[in-house]
A and B are shown apart, each in its own frame.
Chain A
């Protein structure tokens, strides 16, 4: 596609349910990032994938959060047993490479998650 695509754009879920958020990076981009933007707060790093390397999971806030990237392309962020504090906009970004010249990050439109 022309840009980073995220789905769904909006998700309302009940507390305690599991949710899956999807990110389709720009074709050919080897690096993929997930960030979270809570109301009135800055962007918080969650996880980073680079090619076939082990992902950097250092930003995941708890073991309820996990992410995978299948075939080096599409990524899914899963939140288990959602809590109200998980309500935020989840942003995905990709870049052609993780290092070197081609590290300009391009963001999707985000998924707004509301836990009620």
Chain B
């Protein structure tokens, strides 16, 4: 059974800092990994999707990496802004595709 862990559970940084969020998974036989953000009381917004054959994906100030063999992914946020404050979730889709297993998220607070 796939298990997904996100560390830290919460993070508070001053505006402008670069930061890294971590996601680890127990079964390396994955189809893809997707990062989301969730604002309070809202649904999930897709940030980046990394296919199992890829090592990283970039979108604006966000860069996500994937190391399947070690069961790890990181989300790097450059020059953080207060608007980045949200909960960040990673989701791993198994090789049979279909459902994804989610981590519990990292709640990020960026202070002005």
- Interface residue tally of chain B, by bracket? 20 to 34
Chain A stretch 91-110: residues in CB contact (< 8 A) with chain B: 91, 93, 98-99, 101, 103-110
| Cβ contact within 8 Å between A107 and B98 | no
Instruction: Look across to chain B and name the residue whose beta carbon is closest to the beta carbon of A35.
Output: B102
Label chain B's interface by main secondary structure: strand
How far, in whole Å, are A104 and B32 apart by their CA atoms in the complex? 9
Among A4, A43, A91, A108, residue most surrounded by chain B Cβ atoms (within 10 Å)? A43
Asked whether, in the complex, the Cβ of A33 is within 8 Å of the Cβ of B99, the reply is yes
Instruction: Flag whether B28 is at the interface (Cβ < 8 A).
Output: no
Q: Mark B8-52, 1 if CB is under 8 A from A, else 0.
A: 000000000000000000000001101010000011111001010
- 8 Å CB interface, A74-116 against B: 91, 93, 98-99, 101, 103-110
Whether B34 pairs with A105 at a CB distance below 8 angstroms is yes
Given contacts A33-B99, A42-B103, A48-B98, contact A109 B43 (CB under 8 A): yes
- Interface flag for B89 (CB, 8 Å): yes
In the complex, how many angstroms separate the beta carbon of B42 from the nearest chain A beta carbon?
Answer: 6
Bound complex: CA A109 to CA B45 (Å): 9
A105 to B93, CA, bound (A): 11
Specify the chain B residue showing the minimal Cβ separation from A40: B104
Q: Does B101 interact with chain A (Cβ within 8 Å)?
A: yes
Instruction: Among A43, A93, A99, point to the contact of B89 (Cβ < 8 A).
Output: A43
Return 24 A-B CB contacts under 8 Å, by A number.
A4-B43, A33-B100, A35-B102, A41-B104, A42-B102, A42-B104, A42-B105, A43-B91, A43-B102, A45-B99, A48-B99, A50-B98, A56-B98, A58-B99, A59-B99, A91-B43, A99-B31, A99-B97, A101-B51, A103-B31, A104-B34, A105-B34, A105-B46, A107-B36
| 4 closest A-B pairs by CB | A107-B44, A43-B102, A45-B99, A109-B43
A residues touching B (Cβ–Cβ < 8 Å)? 4, 33, 35, 41-43, 45, 48, 50, 56, 58-59, 91, 93, 98-99, 101, 103-110
